[in-house]
A and B are shown apart, each in its own frame.
Chain A
Amino acid sequence: MFIYYIRLALLSYRRNPVLSSLMVLAVAIGVGAYMVIFTLNYFMGGDPIPHKSAQLFHVQLDYGDPAVADFEPPPQLTYIDAIALLDLSSEHPRTANSKFVGVVEPQNRDIRPFSVSGRGNFSDFFTMFDIPFQYGSGWDREADENRQQVIVLSSELNDQLFGGSNSVGETVHLHGYNFTVVGVLDRWSPMPKFYDVNNGPFDPIEEAYIPWHLIVALRMDRSGNTNCWAAPEGDGFQAFLNAECAWIQFWVELQDSAARDDYLNLVDNYAAEQKSFGRLQQPVDKRLFDVNEWMVEQEVVPDETRILSALAAMLLAVCLLNTVGLLLSKFLGKAPEIGVRQALGAHKGSLFIQHVIEAGFIGALGGVLGLGVAALGMEGVKILMGDLIVSDWMQLNLTVMLVTIALAIVCTVIAGLYPIWRACNINPAIHLKLQ
């Protein structure tokens, strides 16, 4: 009967093409607009590493100036604390990391030197965040300790420097120093870029990765946010390293709640010790945040998208209310046919199913057209938001397409419930005589 009902839905569409097309259009606009915002929220607010987001923790310490009442503790760590926590956390996978920029001088003299964005991090960074490799791998802890001049390239930089070939063992001249390539990343674009949300959560990943100690040892040009709440004592780089200036993100991987509790104790003790030295005077509510807690804490999804979501939901509701009216008109217009069907043996249940399928058919058509509306809307969002979003992920993938069509069908069927109920409860006797 399902195919029979689909055929009846198609015939019904052809019988009232204008009315039916208006419904399809209303559903398409409502669902299409909603899906644009849904997609924006989905990628901005999604769990970027769902299989282990509950085991990865960002550490925050009690920074701030007690004299400033509403001081918002900076999300990053100072150099002193990062070094201390690295030692405290050595039994767990952990990484301090921060951004830098550097100039690469390609071996091929035909290519002019160019600037790259880079990240200093520890060897555990690659395994903790399950970063995929195209060639080679990350470095090891020994390389961290010995400050070896090794480098991991993004696939884009590898394409640029080595034509995409396996460059493991090759040398890259960066910031005036030679680095040996140990690995090339595969395509990877976590959304949001959870390991560093305070330096552009929707920015592309960095192009080059080097051991974190080298940022200090080679005086790399740091980039990204730096928050200071006390002036450095003295001048120069060493004075900056010793200052109350936070510029380092710190992550640790803790397998279970027991490990988490133990580690939290360590951090608490460290904070208490530092307090006794006159530091860390402004207590924070929480010192460990898992990935999703950290996204919320840092308000990765901007308020504007929530407002947009509400507006899109209202537009969808208005479109569906229109659809209710149009469906009511269409289904009540079929009263004589419904009467005949009842006379010939249709019961209310079968009429209900027939019309649910007809509403679903209209919804499916609206969903397909809504994909077009959503595609247009996403292009508009890319133009409006520009560099704030990565256009690679703001697109109609299979999930978004299926959700769009499913949403359109479900919404239209819900919108059709009242018209269907009315249609199924007409008195056939009235319409049989009048037809």
Chain B
Amino acid sequence: MLKMTHIRKVFRTDLVETHALRDISLNVAEGEFITITGPSGCGKTTFLNIAGLLETWTDGQYLLDGQDVAALSDFQRAKLRNQKIGFIFQSFNLMPDLNLFDNVDVPLRYRGMKGAERKDRIERALDSVGLLSRKKHLPSQLSGGQQQRVAIARALVGEPRFLLADEPTGNLDSNTAEGVMELLQSINDAGTTIIMVTHDPSLASRSARNIHFLDGRIAESDHIAVAGQLEAVS
């Protein structure tokens, strides 16, 4: 579903060139749950931004569902983001003056969906994260864990093919983080591909595959769960 070949990303200023990604090649299959780990500044977030079409890259090829996305216009990329990709951020990135319903509504607005269908989808999405009863609340009236669940509902409301999560539990305590992980796990079980950046090795160990970034390169790629399952079968 996602195929990157020899992707490089260089940030340039007048004085400095920073190689954020060096020759990244990666295949992500439909339904996979991949975690990305690595030290700060190793290129995890840059990779995620490129995967989510929020950032351009310097060299290499990126195919999304077999389509070369390099040549797409801003409009086409936005459409792809809206229809195929969901984003979850460490700091939730909810809009503070919109209530939960309106926050979850944002991606559907850009899809041009009719009011009744939007309402139905939003309520289902909020219900799936257990926050339907609080749809009129503002984000500031919720706890961090609840805000992240709203962000997940917002990411899922458009029924994307894959979800990009940038340290979704980074701002949460361990209990709340566990709840969010379980939610992501169930989303993946339902068939959504997930790529998650995390610093937490215990969370990384729960994914099917962990990719370790170091200095802009893939240092290690382990099929943790799949390898474990294969071992068990043999």
Contact = CB atoms under 8 A, between A and B. Distances in A.
B14 interface: no
Interface in B46-69: 46, 49, 52, 54-55
Interface in A311-364: 336-337, 339-350
Nearest to B76: A347
Given A427-B55, A429-B49, A432-B54, A345 B93 contact: no
A342 B87 CA distance: 11
B9 to A, nearest CB: 11
Interface string B64-107: 00000000001101110111000101110101111000000011
Contact of B54 (A4, A337, A342): A342
Q: Which of A1, A336, A337, A429: most chain B CB closer than 10 A? A: A429
B106 A344 contact: yes
Contacts of B106: 340-341, 344
Contact-residue size bin, chain A (C-beta under 8 Å from the other chain): 20 to 34
Contacts of A372: none
A435 B95 contact: no
B54 A343 contact: yes
Contact of B109 (A4, A15, A428, A435): A4
Given A346-B78, A348-B74, A433 B45 contact: yes
Interface in A250-309: none
Interface in A1-23: 1, 4, 11, 14-15
B111 interface: yes
Q: Which of A336, A345, A349, A427: most chain B CB closer than 10 A? A: A345
Given A345-B110, A429-B49, A15 B78 contact: no
A428 B166 contact: no
The A interface is mostly helix, strand or loop, or mixed, namely helix
B97 A345 contact: no
B91 to A, nearest CB: 5
B73 to A, nearest CB: 8
Interface residues of B, number: 32
Interface in A410-434: 427-429, 432-433
Contacts of B90: 433
Contacts of B55: 427, 429
Contact of A342 (B78, B83, B95, B158): B78
Interface string B101-142: 000001101111000000000000000000000000000000
B154 interface: yes
Given A344-B87, A344-B154, A433 B82 contact: no
Contacts of A433: 45, 89-90, 166
A14 B138 CA distance: 15
Contacts of A14: 97
A435 B111 contact: no
Interface of B: 45-46, 49, 52, 54-55, 74-75, 77-79, 81-83, 87, 89-91, 93, 95-98, 106-107, 109-112, 154, 158, 166
27 contacts: A15-B96, A15-B97, A339-B93, A341-B110, A342-B54, A342-B78, A343-B54, A343-B87, A343-B93, A345-B81, A345-B107, A346-B78, A347-B75, A347-B110, A349-B74, A349-B75, A350-B78, A350-B110, A428-B54, A429-B46, A429-B54, A432-B87, A432-B166, A433-B45, A433-B166, A435-B91, A435-B93
